[in-house]
Amino acid sequence: MKEVEINLGSRAYKIIIGGGELERAGGQVAGLFGGSKALLVTNPIVGALFAERVTASLKQAGIEAVVAEIPDGEEYKTLQSAEMLYDRAFSAGLDRHCPVLALGGGVVGDLAGFVAATYMRGVPFVQLPTTLLAQVDSSVGGKVAVNHPRGKNIIGAFYQPALVLTDPVTLHTLDNGEILSGLAEVIKYGIISDSAFFDWLEANIERVLALESDAIIHVIERSCLNKARVVEDDETEQGNRAILNLGHTVGHAIEAIAGYGRYRHGEAVSIGTAVAARLAVELGVLQASEEIRIKNLLLRTGLPVDVPKDLATVDMVRSMYGDKKNFGGQINYVLPTGIGKAVVYKNMPEERIKLALDSLRL
């Protein structure tokens, strides 16, 4: 078992990584909260696989699980889904002491966290991430949100969980595409802040892809440690936390223009990372040899690096103006400046972005 602590003063919490954590969830939750009920949010696929383990553990700890399922998919991360969960919680008599538990991937975690942050002005929140993307990224750091037709994660808050319980056994139920989606975020940490981790990934990516236990636990722990350092320094993204959005300016534009569901989040971020590396080289802040290393690791992992030819450059750039990193109508863009270093480039010229996008057309 591994533990990573997120040090945020009175809102500090632990990420516990290890086999059997779902079966131990009840005891962990009972030890933190006084509520006699818990809202367990999941989707039909994850629920069929793992909900019984969690509900049985909660029951053993004297907590009644109120299970609420939302359909699987980014398109269901909406205010309408949140309203359904509010209704479920209110009908079941959940009070301010009853926690909301998120059992699933990023969609479930973001939506359940948004509901926890807003139901009765805030109730305790526990993450039980079941995808690699959620285990290394979205379950850590307190970003919760729902989507809007005009953009992804536009309606949301910063609301830290009280606990994150990560059981790597859940990864063995995922298809390969879900694993790759998470690895795009893993590689991101190496690029923005941890050159030694990037080196390790270059040497061990085959072991990671094979889900070798020690390799995957190392990946989860190291990724969480990297994110923890950034979040502790800048919890609400007023400064350096924005570097965690490497690849996301283009990535979110791809998801929005193509329609949520066509590309997995990690696939879109991978393409966005390749575009950011190309931009950085053209601006003279990244060596061409480092761009090659970044692209090669993404490709060896099985991730895309080419911009889809059917997504118009003008539409993608227009979508980027809705990015939350922007200020004063200008596009702010995260660029790698070396392996293990990144900056936020203020007021990125449109023409630079267009040239980089077109140079990586599929």
The answer on whether 251 is annotated among ligand-binding residues is no
76 has binding-site annotation: yes
To the query of whether residue 148 is one of the catalytic residues in this protein, the response is no
Question: Which residue, among 89, 168, 101, has the nearest Cα to 128 in the 3D structure?
Answer: 101
Q: Which of 24, 188, 218, 248 is catalytic?
A: 248
Mark whether 97 is an active-site residue.
no
Q: Does 130 appear as a known binding residue?
A: yes
Rounded CA-CA distance 97/39 in Å is: 11
248 is catalytic: yes
Annotation marks residue 83 as catalytic: no
The torsion of the CA quartet 300, 182, 343, 14, rounded to 10 degrees, works out to -140
Active site residue 3: no
Question: Has 143 been labeled as part of a binding site?
Answer: yes
Tell me whether residue 309 is one of the annotated catalytic residues: no
Which residue among 21, 178, 237, 255 is the active-site one?
237
Task: List Cβ neighbours of 349 (8 Å cut-off, separation of 6 or more).
Answer: none
Does 75 appear as a known binding residue? Answer: yes
Question: Could you say which of 43, 147, 226, 245 is catalytic?
Answer: 245
Residue 110 assigned as binding residue: yes
Considering the candidates 37, 265, 295, 325, report the single residue annotated as catalytic: 265
Candidates 24, 37, 53, 143; catalytic one: 143
CA distance 108 to 74: 9
Q: Is residue 97 a known part of a binding site?
A: no
Q: Please list, in sequence order, all residues whose beta carbon lies within 8 angstroms of the beta carbon of residue 289, skipping any fewer than 6 positions away.
A: none
Cβ contacts of 238 within 8 Å, gap of 6 or more: none
The verdict on whether residue 265 carries a ligand-binding annotation is: yes
Q: What's the CA gap between 87 and 91, in Å, rounded?
A: 6
Q: DSSP letter at 141?
A: S
Q: Is 77 annotated as a binding residue?
A: yes
| Catalytic annotation, pick one of 252, 264, 278, 325 | 252
Is 83 annotated as contributing to ligand binding? no
Structure-block tokens of residue 103: 């059992």
The residue annotated as part of the active site, out of 227, 264, 278, 295, is: 227
Q: Is 267 annotated as a binding residue?
A: no
Is position 236 annotated in a ligand binding site? Answer: no
Question: What would the two tokens of residue 275 be?
Answer: 């575009």
341 marked among binding-site residues: no
Catalytic residue among 24, 218, 222, 241: 241
> Are the C-beta atoms of 180 and 301 separated by less than 8 Å?
yes
Does 207 participate in catalysis according to the annotation? Answer: no
Distances 117 to 80, 90, 124, 126, 265 between C-alpha atoms, Å: 16, 15, 8, 12, 24
- Active-site residue, 11 included: no
Known binding residue 173? Answer is: yes
Residue 172 annotated as binding site: yes
Pairing type for strands 341-345 and 333-338 reads: antiparallel
Q: Catalytic annotation on 229?
A: no
- Mark the binding-site residues for NAD(+), compressed into ranges: 72-77, 106-110, 130-131, 143, 152, 170-173
Annotated binding site for Zn(2+): 185, 248, 265
- By annotation, the residues acting in catalysis are 121, 143, 185, 227, 237, 241, 245, 248, 252, 265
Binding-site residue ranges: 72-77, 106-110, 130-131, 143, 152, 170-173, 185, 248, 265
